[in-house]
A and B are shown apart, each in its own frame.
Chain A
Amino acid sequence: MKSHLLVSTLLGLGLLTAVGVPVFAHHGNAAYADEITEFKQATVTKFAWANPHALISFDAKNAKGEVVHMVVETAAPQALRLIGWANTSVAPGDVITVRMYVAKNGNPAGRLQKIILADGSDLHDTQLGGDEGGKTRYDPLSDK
């Protein structure tokens, strides 16, 4: 509940943006919201290049300077490598933008849509061609 309030507060402060994008069937999507939430100026605290899913932990500040800690999952490293990721793609201290589908229950977790790095380049979650077999949520056509 506390986390839910945090997310709600951040939304109210305009630090998070809900973007209307359709959701596609994928592994475990029942737990996540149908819209993308964007965290700007997110500071990476951990990048776990792990199976079955790589995890990015990050802090995002609200207007009061309070830090909310989030974790976002993406695909397995082998699938991510096929679409341009490496185990060095992000590192603690990096400041990035995170676009993700947050947990419906308000807990500070979710599934990645994509990250935007400091140089403006982006890395997205698995797409067709990267990890087929019902594990995809990213549709490149919806991100044009």
Chain B
Amino acid sequence: MRKVSTGIIAGVVGALCISALVSAQAPQNNAPRSPWKYYPEDARANEGPGGPAPVRDMSGTWAGESSGAGVKRLVPPERNPAFTALGKELFSKNKAESNGVLIAQSNDPHVRFCDPFGFPRNMNDQIRSMTIATVQNRTFVMLKFMNIWREIWMDGRALPTKFAGRGADVHDPTYNGYSVGRWVDDYTFVAETTGMAPETWATEGGLPHSVDAKVTERFNRSSKNDLSLTMTMDDPKLYSKPVSLGEVNFRWIPSQTFFDFSCVPSSVQMYLKEMADPSGTPAAAK
């Protein structure tokens, strides 16, 4: 017990020291600073690699492209992948704002209702920040946008493969699917996911996916401050070739603090009623 107490005290003192150090190194202004607030200028000022990447470790809080910290996306998702006939038909039904459709005419379930993005879209859209934590048999990826957490099992289990029909071996599809992962070298972690709810979009651009899609994520930590994620989707029902879901980039947040950020269903209804729908009637498209 005494060791635990000592450890806690040491941890708190260490955190305070780090916090003070971070504050001292941040761009100076006279405004009081709080350890509970996110300061994107700190992440922006934390230039360079910051040292070598730790071995087999991605834990911590990372800023993405919509964090205000100047993090740039590396590669966007494909916009015109090799559709099958069914894939093309399903894609044609998705009216995505990023394809030039007004919000008023969009049927994006997130834009209209704040529905969960689901995986893999939640890893390639609204990339604000994420925290990664690993316990003995799992890695958790926690996304600040919509307060989502995913679990990636690392205990050697096989991915489920049946998500339709009847039988004891059938699994319900879920928003985040079922994920397993492993380190393929000291700095690269690969995760595979199946069983994603087919009503969700794979990208902001409205790419569909079937319940049989499989997504591979490749996290690469190239330095202390840099983490990239490349995603590929295999879904033969809808695409004749694997689809690139792009590559996103993350930067280490020195204070490890980010803010809560959610789409609020009641607020989005107000927004649509008072703002987006009135300004987006068909006349606006002319």
Set of chain B residues within 8 Å of A79, measured between Cβ atoms: 68
Q: Is the interface of A mostly helix, strand, loop or mixed?
A: loop
Chain B CB within 8 A of A103 CB:
yes
Whether the Cβ atoms of A73 and B66 lie closer than 8 Å is no
Which residues of chain A from 54 to 106 have any CB-CB distance to chain B below 8 Å in the complex? Answer: 55, 57, 71, 73, 76, 78-79, 81-82, 103-106
B40 & A31 in contact (Cβ 8 Å cutoff): no
A28 pairs with B271, CB closer than 8 A: no
Whether B261 and A133, one on each chain, are in contact in the complex, defined by CB atoms closer than 8 angstroms, is no
Q: How many A-B residue pairs have CB under 8 A?
A: 104
Say whether A52 faces chain B, with CB atoms less than 8 Å apart. Answer: yes
B114 contact set on A, CB distance < 8 A: 52
CB contacts under 8 Å to A, within B137-182, are none
Partner of B271 from the list A52, A57, A131, A132 (CB cut-off 8 Å) is A52
Give A78 to B274 CA distance when docked, in angstroms: 21
In the bound complex, do residue B40 and residue A129 qualify as a contact, i.e. CB atoms below 8 Å apart? yes
- Chain B residue contacts of A130, Cβ below 8 A: 68
Tell me which of A108, A109, A133 has the highest count of chain B C-beta atoms within 10 A of its own C-beta.
Answer: A133
**CA–CA, A31 and B261, complex, Å:** 25
Q: What are the residues of chain A within 8 A of B70 when measuring CB–CB?
A: 128-129, 132
Q: How far is the CB of A137 from chain B (nearest CB, A)?
A: 14
Contact of A31 among B65, B102, B264, B274 (CB under 8 A): B102
List B residues 232-286 near A (Cβ within 8 Å): 259-264, 267-268, 270-271, 274-276, 278-286
Q: Is the CB of B222 closer than 8 A to any CB of chain A?
A: no
Most interface-central of B267, B271, B275 (chain A CB within 10 A):
B275
Q: A109's contact among B44, B100, B259, B275, by CB below 8 Å, is which?
A: B275
| Minimum CB–CB distance for B22 against chain A, Å | 17
Instruction: Bin the interface of chain B by size.
Output: 35 or more
Residues in B with CB closer than 8 Å to A110 are 279
B149 vs chain A, min Cβ distance (A) = 19
Residues from chain A with Cβ under 8 Å of B281 in the complex:
105, 107
Q: How far is the CA of A75 from the CA of B271 in the complex (A)?
A: 12
- B66:A31 contact, CB within 8 angstroms: no
Contact present for B259 and A78 (CB under 8 Å): yes
CB atoms of A30 and B268 under 8 A apart: no
Q: Is the CB of A30 within 8 A of B66?
A: no
Least Cβ–Cβ distance between B268 and chain A, in angstroms: 6
The contact of A104 among B40, B268, B286, by CB within 8 Å, is B286
Given A30-B102, A78-B261, A109 and B68 contact (CB-CB distance below 8 Å):
no
For residue A83, which residue of chain B has the nearest CB?
B68
> In the docked arrangement, what's the CA distance between A52 and B126, Å?
12
A135: nearest residue on chain B (CB-CB)?
Answer: B66
B103 contacts A by Cβ under 8 Å: yes
Given the known inter-chain contacts A50-B270, A50-B271, A53-B271, please indicate yes or no for A105 contacting B283, CB distance below 8 A: yes
A contact residues around B285 at 8 Å (CB): 30
- Enumerate B114-135 residues with CB–CB distance to A below 8 Å: 114, 126-127
Whether A104 contacts B274 by the Cβ 8 Å rule is no
Given the known interface contacts A105-B283, A129-B40, the answer about A48 and B103 at a Cβ–Cβ threshold of 8 Å is no
Q: Hey, which bits of chain A sit against chain B, CB under 8 A? A: 27-28, 30-32, 48, 50-53, 55, 57, 71, 73, 76, 78-79, 81-82, 103-110, 128-133, 135
A-B interface, 3 closest residue pairs, ranked by CB to CB distance from nearest: A103-B279, A133-B66, A50-B267
